[in-house]
Amino acid sequence: MSEKQKVLVTGFDRFGYRQRPNRSSEIALPAIKNRYSDLVETLVLPTARNIAAERLIEAIDDINPAAVVMFGISAGGKVRLEQQAKNRRFNILFPDNEGVRAVGRIRPEGPVNIAATLPLDDIYNRLQAAGVPTKLSNDAGAFVCNEVMYRALHHTSESNASPVLPTGFIHLGNGLSNQLVEEAGLMVVDELLRLNGSVK
């Protein structure tokens, strides 16, 4: 990784008619930016499938990051390391923040699944060793999180860059304490920076 390359870290804004807090952007990202200000670029994405994906892809092209890690929130009390994104949309009852409901494939001619390229085994071992409840997941859902992950991976895979840009999505469970959310976010980014030689 060159000195100019940074890790791109994203979270989502509040969503739904109740504007529920989103700890990916309100807890994890500020902690990451505060500790690693010179080594990361943080970006809050709108919980709107098309806008979020477009902004993320623009940021990837503009920043030319060393890695891309997307954070979102989910039900449950664990950190979920998403191993793949699926080429599907299925949110009839719950529109995104732009009022969009969608069903069907994200890309009609795209692959059914695209594997994450983050070093998930290393991240998993790091979190487990620190006592953070963590699991590997094969289902990032069918809402905005999965779509943004799919479109980001599709975009980076099309670049034919070597080595492949480490890219992936991590869900932070709503059952986790704010402290664990913060610690998990910091450890994930720290692990990526260590693997790329930015920190020791």
41 has catalytic annotation: no
CB atoms near residue 179 (< 10 Å): 10
pLDDT of residue 1: 41
| Catalytic position from the list 147, 154, 171, 191 | 171
82 has catalytic annotation: yes
pLDDT of residue 168: 98
Kindly tell me if the per-residue pLDDT of 185 is higher than 90: yes
pLDDT of residue 93: 62
| Catalytic position from the list 3, 41, 54, 82 | 82
Higher pLDDT, 195 or 190: 190
pLDDT of residue 18: 58
12-63 tens-digit pLDDT: 999 865 567 899 999 999 999 999 999 999 999 999 888 999 999 999 999 9
**Residues facing 68 on adjacent strands:** 8, 167
113-161 tens-digit pLDDT: 999 999 999 999 999 999 999 999 999 987 899 999 999 999 998 876 6
Handedness of CA 99, 105, 110, 115 (dihedral sign): positive
171 has catalytic annotation: yes
Q: Which CATH number fits domain 7-195: 1.10.1040.10, 3.40.5.10, 3.40.630.20, 1.25.40.10?
A: 3.40.630.20
